[in-house]
Amino acid sequence: MNYRTIAKLLGLLLIGISIFMATSVIFAVWSDGTRSIITFVISTLVTFAAGSALYLVGRKEKGTIHAREAVAVVTLGWFAVSFFGAIPFMIDGTFTNPVDAFFESASGFTTTGSSVMTDIESSSKSVLYWRSLTQWLGGMGIIVLFIAILPQLGVGARHLFKSEVPGPITEGLKPKLKHTSSTLWKIYIGFTAALLGSLMLAGVDFFDALCHALTCMATGGFSTKNASIAHYNSTAIDIIMTVFMLFAGINFGLYYVLTRKRVREFFANTEFKVYIAINLVAMLLIAVSILERYPDFLTALRYASFQTLAVSTTTGFATDNFDLYPSFAKILMVALMCVGGCAGSTAGGMKISRLVIVIKAAYNEIYKAFHPHAVFSVKVGNQAIEDSVIRSVLVFFGVFVLSFVAGTLVMSAIGLDMVTAATSVVATLANIGPGLGKVGAIENYAFVPWGGKLFLSFLMILGRLELFTVLVLLIPDFWRR
């Protein structure tokens, strides 16, 4: 383990975050005044100084970044940016408890969207912008951005990329990781700009449109309004947000395929087709189950579509209190939370591609029960999946379930009821945000004891980095030279 290399890369990462943090000063000058300006100047300088100190420790290191260093940089990097991202919340007075500030920051960078803010609209514009920006940076991935702008990473970039990006990206991207990363970010920026323009055309002011565009494309769900998207009570805005949440849950590698005019390949992708099918069926089922709450089916479908995409893409926006839905609808939504969006998207959850592999592997095993000598391979589309990948996916499902069970027991032990404990764990582990019960769509996490908030913050990072990247750090042998 080359600790100096780790320090150098973590330092560069914090310097990069400080540059983005500095953009909040623009909104502080524009609308907030002296206190907010001081808040973000100090926060930026502290983060920059910490990054510079770490960089100086390892500035002379020119060795190759191996898998161990990459895993350490990615995991420690997410904890570090969550820690330093909390500083503005503390200096500004948004929170007086550092645990609350860390929880909000971790929720932002991991795009979870769980919040401990009790009155969002009373916060300064610069804080709300920073809160939204943390989600946008975390959506596509701070390490992916890191790779795109740092040419000196060399072959180590592949290890960093693999350790952070959710699920395998296999669709037609450029062979060089630097080009891959920059391509993903260009597509991401393009969608964000398109959503910003669409919301402004629908009547949303620039600041609110910007913040919602940042958090929607990140599938994060932070809003500038206490009532989330329900604040606007607009059919047009609901439709725009629903469409862009759908876009955000699709593998961004497929969008690159589409830019190469390979339209047939885009629509023939198995994961894409399953993703669309699951959401369409869920929308219809939920719309039927909540029909009695609305005057007609189209209105029910409007709310069902929004809430379905909000949970299946793990965005977490709300236009309705789905905690009041019938049990069938709530159970279906919890299932969608667990599954999530496509691999290579900004969505959380276990990912559609893994679900497809598990179902096909299970079918093969069931078939072999009465045809023991049959030989099958698991295929997703035209691609045969290697046994090692199948094994890894099955282990991932097992670890996810064990993490959920263990997490629920922990949250129950600190006094939460069963529904709140279980869905708070699913909501943070799958990076969704709202759950059911006391952490429902119109509630927040402010009531959770500080120990529970720290534990849920850990689950957010664990889920964002898809379990193994974080858990491997708990093995003592990992740290030995």
- Closest to 134 measured CA to CA, from 110, 102, 150, 151: 110
Mean pLDDT of the chain: 88
Are residues 172 and 265 in contact, defined by beta-carbon separation less than 8 angstroms?
Answer: yes
96 to each of 89, 101, 133, 459, how far by Cα in Å?
A: 9, 8, 22, 23
The mean pLDDT of 435-455, rounded to a whole number, is 92
pLDDT for res 366: 87
- Dist CA 19 CA 22 (whole Å): 5
pLDDT band at 99 (very low <50, low <70, confident <90, very high): very high
pLDDT top residue among 74 and 284:
284
Mean pLDDT of 104-110: 95
pLDDT (average), residues 292-306:
95
- In the chain, the percentage of residues whose pLDDT exceeds 70 is 91
- Closest C-alpha to 98, from 82, 112, 87: 87
CB 69 within 8 A of CB 163: no
Does position 28 have pLDDT exceeding 50, yes or no? Answer: yes
User: For residue 455, is pLDDT > 90?
Assistant: yes
The whole-angstrom distance between residue 347's C-alpha and the CA centroid of its chain comes to: 5
Averaged pLDDT, 126-131: 96
Query: Which of 86, 66, 80 is CA-nearest to residue 10?
Result: 80
Record the tokens describing residue 46, joined without a space: 């502290």
pLDDT at 81 over 50: yes
Count the neighbouring beta carbons within 10 Å of the beta carbon of residue 116.
21
Radius of gyration of the chain from Cα atoms?
22
Averaged pLDDT, 85-112: 95
Q: Residue 169 has what pLDDT?
A: 45
Q: What is the DSSP letter of 440?
A: S
Give residue-wise pLDDT tens across range 391-408. 888 999 999 999 999 999
> Could you tell me which of 200, 189, 287, 211 has the C-alpha nearest to residue 240?
200
Arithmetic mean of pLDDT, 53-74: 80
| Tens digit of each residue's pLDDT (9 = 90 or more) over 325-367 | 999 999 999 999 999 999 888 888 889 988 998 998 888 888 8
Q: Where are the domains of the chain?
A: 3-256
Residue 162 pLDDT: 59
Nearest to 87 by CA among 141, 127, 27, 129: 127
The total number of residues written for the chain in this structure: 481
pLDDT at 155: 46
Count Cβ atoms within 10 A of the Cβ of residue 288 and give its class: 0-12 exposed, 13-18 middle, 19 or more buried: middle
What backbone phi and psi angles, to 5 degrees, belong to 242?
Answer: -60, -45
Distance of CA 320 to the CA centre of its chain: 22
Structure tokens at 291: 């029909």
Quick one: pLDDT band at residue 291, thresholds 50, 70, 90? very high
pLDDT per residue over 140-188, tens digit each?
Answer: 876 666 565 555 554 455 555 555 555 544 454 555 566 777 788 889 9
Residue-wise DSSP of 198-232: HHHHTT--HHHHHHHHHHHHTT----SSTTGGGGT
CB-based contact 362:183 (threshold 8 Å): no
DSSP run (H or E) holding 68: helix 67-85
Tens of pLDDT along 363-388? 888 888 777 777 777 777 777 778 88
Min mean pLDDT across 134-143, 200-209, 315-324 is at 134-143
pLDDT confidence of residue 24: 96
| Model pLDDT for residues 175-224, shown as the tens digit of each residue | 556 677 778 888 999 999 999 999 999 999 999 999 999 999 999 999 99
B/e letters for 353-365, b = 16+ CB within 10 Å, e = fewer, are bbbbbbebbeebe
What is the pLDDT averaged over residues 13-25?
94
Q: Mean per-residue pLDDT for 237-242? A: 97
Predicted confidence at residue 196, as pLDDT, reads 97
CA 301 – CA 289 distance, rounded (Å) = 10
More confident residue, 451 or 162: 451
